């Protein structure tokens, strides 16, 4: 049997909270020998960044979740309602499959949660008893999220026990983002009057932006107002923010442990697992900063700073190169250089093949929120080994994922798109490319794929325009310009090979009568019918041409004079078939002239055309003479 696989549905994995969870997943995957496939959207969680909800959320359609042995969902990280509802719908048919849901109760899943309520209650008690807080504001996450509501309600209940209340006007939806936190702080000051004694924020990002805005306005924290957060981010701890620590990496390991036992037949007895959280009291509420977490956070913060400097350098280096790729080969080479520079050990860039290849009957849709049945591995590499650029079944996610590997894999899948159209997706191992740099990595790859798509379309449009310039719009045949551009090359080929070059000139009969009696639209239909008759020559490798009006040509290379002489008969037979099988207001016929010879040293196309025309007019005159004497 192959190694078991777990699908993880999450958003904004470049953020510290989700990164800690992902590191726990990778550690647990190695411990329990399971593959971890993380399906991640960036979306709204990257504050102040405009993204397409449809484009981001299509990554959750990529995996067939029924084919995974277990699922971990982190719906509380999804930053928009569209993604939240989409994932819920995808999970509905999977009731009974081993599933751990973090923070959000889902029918049939084990809910792994934290005693946020207890820690928020303790922190509220602390603010009241130790710092004399009586009037409080609360900056929440989205008010339709169960996690945000639990933290808000825990604060309300604690205040109520002390005979206090939380004014509805002082409850703000900060959307989990720094932009939302700043907006809440602005509203508090716009209300005027006396400031609240404290602002409790449902996460550290919102709390840090509140403090920064107050500082700009000359309001001192904690002297003028206390501020608290939640999550114990490195930056928050280093800046002395009073916050609450969740054991994130431990929770990831616990989730995999639960699934591992479940996937191996041990159905859970309890469908809820609650892990403890710990308040960290620090300077932002008026306490002395705790040193317990400082050393670990300081190391992480210095690493983040070095990484950010490196990210900025790499983005500058690759932004123009990645956004200027012109074809499939160049794209693969640029991606290779990019991955090497970013130290991404494992990367699979999977794209809709129509963005760089012409596939029969397939074109890149202008607006699609789904992936095609086949993807193109534009670039694939693992530990120095590069995989060939090839088509593979999308259901396989990446080539060879189903094959047994020496060690378990942990890959992060992220969407590549333009507006609501999927360009493909990228799969990377957890590491340099999927940390705080992830958004930059995705934007560079997205830019490269957009450039490839646009360059491919420009070439397609140029070919289409060039093709239109040399083809007749009614019959699809070469027009006079196309004939003059292409026929000389075939003549030269016949000359070099000593072959018979054939020129046929055709002039339709009765066209003036058709136009005069029935009008030019009917005349156009007659021309199209004549074109269908001439097209029979394509089967023998000859090229039909619509010169203009009722004038046609055909040219090509014959194996013998006998073959050349039979061509006019083939056209007439086809016209007879059309007239018989598709009766019309008039039968289609034409006068033909043929000239065939091995081209001499000085023969040109005009020489063959003149002689074919002469033969055609002789035929036309014979027909006129015959009608005159009948």
Q: Which of 306, 292, 181, 182 has its CA nearest to residue 237?
A: 292
pLDDT at 288 over 60: yes
- In this structure, are residues 348 and 433 in contact, taking their beta carbons and an 8 Å threshold? no
Distance CA 352, CA 361 (A): 14
Cβ(591)–Cβ(511) below 8 Å: no
pLDDT cut 70: percent of the chain above it? 89
d(CA 208, CA 454): 41
**Cα 376 from Cα 359, distance rounded (Å):** 12
Q: Superfamily assignment of 114-248+270-296 in CATH?
A: Response regulator (3.40.50.2300)
Measured distance CA(12)–CA(20) in Å, rounded:
12
The predicted model gives 281-298 an average pLDDT of 72
Predicted local distance difference test score (pLDDT) of residue 368: 61
Ramachandran class of 182: left when φ > 0, alpha when ψ lies in -120 to 50, beta otherwise: alpha
Q: What is the sign of the dihedral through the CA atoms of 149, 155, 158 and 160?
A: negative
Banded pLDDT at 276 (limits 50, 70, 90): very high
Per CATH, domain 480-628 is 3.30.70.270: yes
Instruction: Count the Cβ atoms, other than its own, within 10 Å of residue 223.
Output: 8
Domains 114-248+270-296 and 480-628 share a fold: no
CA distance 216 to 209: 11
Q: What would the pLDDT profile of 146-185 be if each residue is shown by its tens digit?
A: 889 999 999 999 999 999 999 999 999 998 889 999 999 9
C-alpha separations of 387 from 62, 319, 347, 382, 384 in Å: 21, 25, 10, 8, 10
- Please count the CA atoms within 13 angstroms of the CA of 351 that sit on its side-chain side: 28
The confidence score (pLDDT) of residue 364 equals 53
Provide the pLDDT confidence category of residue 46 given band limits of 50, 70 and 90: very low
Instruction: List the chain domain ranges.
Output: 5-110+309-459, 114-248+270-296, 480-628
Segment 543-583, tens digit of pLDDT: 999 999 999 999 999 999 999 999 999 999 999 999 999 99
Instruction: Output the pLDDT for position 174.
Output: 93
Judged on CB neighbours under 10 Å (0-12, 13-18, 19+), 506 is buried
The pLDDT tens digits for 343-392 are 788 889 898 888 877 655 555 555 566 788 999 998 888 877 888 888 89
Average pLDDT over residues 505-531: 92
Residue length of the chain: 630
């Amino acid at each position: 049997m192959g190694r078991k696989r777990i699908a993880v549905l999450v958003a904004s994995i470049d953020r510290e909270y989700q990164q800690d969870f992902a590191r726990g997943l990778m550690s647990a995957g190695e411990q329990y020998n399971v593959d971890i496939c993380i399906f991640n959207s960036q979306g709204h969680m990257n504050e102040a960044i405009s993204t397409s909800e449809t484009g981001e959320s299509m990554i959750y359609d990529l995996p067939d979740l029924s084919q995974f042995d277990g699922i971990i969902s982190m719906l509380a990280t999804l930053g928009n309602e569209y993604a939240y509802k989409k994932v819920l719908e995808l999970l509905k048919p999977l009731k009974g499959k081993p599933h751990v849901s973090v923070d959000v109760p889902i029918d049939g899943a084990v809910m792994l949660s934290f005693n946020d309520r207890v820690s928020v209650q303790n922190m509220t008690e602390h603010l009241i008893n130790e710092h004399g807080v009586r009037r409080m504001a609360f900056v929440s996450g989205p008010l339709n999220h169960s996690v945000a509501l639990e933290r808000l309600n825990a604060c309300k209940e604690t205040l109520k026990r002390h005979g206090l209340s939380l004014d509805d006007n002082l409850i703000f939806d900060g959307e989990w983002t720094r932009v939302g936190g700043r907006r809440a702080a602005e509203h508090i000051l716009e209300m005027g009057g006396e400031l609240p004694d404290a602002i409790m924020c449902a996460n550290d990002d919102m709390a840090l932006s509140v403090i920064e805005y107050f500082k700009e306005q000359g309001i001192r924290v904690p002297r003028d107002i206390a501020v608290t957060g939640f999550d114990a981010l490195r930056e928050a701890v280093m800046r002395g923010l009073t916050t609450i620590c969740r054991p994130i990496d431990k929770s990831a390991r616990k989730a995999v442990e639960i699934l591992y036992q479940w996937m191996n037949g041990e159905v859970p007895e309890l469908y809820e697992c609650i892990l403890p959280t710990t308040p960290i009291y620090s300077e932002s509420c008026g306490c002395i900063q705790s040193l317990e977490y400082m050393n670990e956070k300081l190391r992480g913060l210095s690493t983040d700073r070095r990484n950010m400097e490196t990210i900025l350098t790499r983005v500058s280096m690759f932004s123009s190169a990645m956004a200027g790729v012109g074809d499939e080969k160049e794209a693969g080479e640029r991606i290779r250089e990019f991955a090497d520079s970013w130290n991404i050990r494992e990367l699979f860039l999977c794209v809709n093949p129509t963005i760089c290849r012409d596939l029969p009957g397939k074109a890149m849709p202008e607006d699609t929120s789904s992936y095609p049945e086949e993807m193109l591995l534009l670039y694939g590499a693992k530990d120095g080994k590069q995989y060939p650029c090839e088509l593979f079944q999308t259901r396989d996610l990446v080539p060879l994922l189903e094959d047994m590997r020496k060690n378990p894999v942990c890959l992060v899948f992220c969407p590549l798109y333009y507006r609501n159209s999927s360009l493909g997706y990228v799969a990377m191992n957890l590491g340099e490319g999927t940390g705080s740099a992830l958004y930059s990595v995705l934007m560079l790859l997205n830019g490269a794929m957009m450039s490839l798509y646009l360059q491919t379309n420009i070439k397609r449009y140029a070919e289409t325009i060039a093709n239109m310039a040399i083809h007749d719009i009614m019959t699809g045949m070469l027009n006079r310009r196309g004939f003059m551009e292409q026929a000389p090359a075939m003549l030269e080929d016949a000359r070099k090979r000593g072959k018979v070059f054939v020129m046929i000139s055709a002039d339709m009969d009765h066209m003036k009568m058709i136009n005069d009696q029935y009008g030019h639209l009917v005349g156009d239909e007659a021309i199209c019918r004549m074109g269908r008759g001439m097209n029979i020559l394509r089967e023998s490798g000859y090229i039909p041409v619509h010169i203009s009006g009722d004038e046609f040509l055909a040219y090509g290379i014959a194996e013998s004079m006998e073959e050349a002489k039979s061509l006019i008969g083939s056209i007439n037979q086809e016209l007879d078939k059309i007239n018989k099988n598709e009766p019309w207001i008039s039968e289609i016929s034409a006068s033909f002239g043929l000239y065939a010879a091995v081209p001499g040293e000085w023969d040109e196309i005009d020489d063959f055309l003149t002689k074919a025309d002469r033969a055609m007019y002789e035929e036309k005159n014979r027909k006129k003479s015959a009608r005159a004497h009948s």
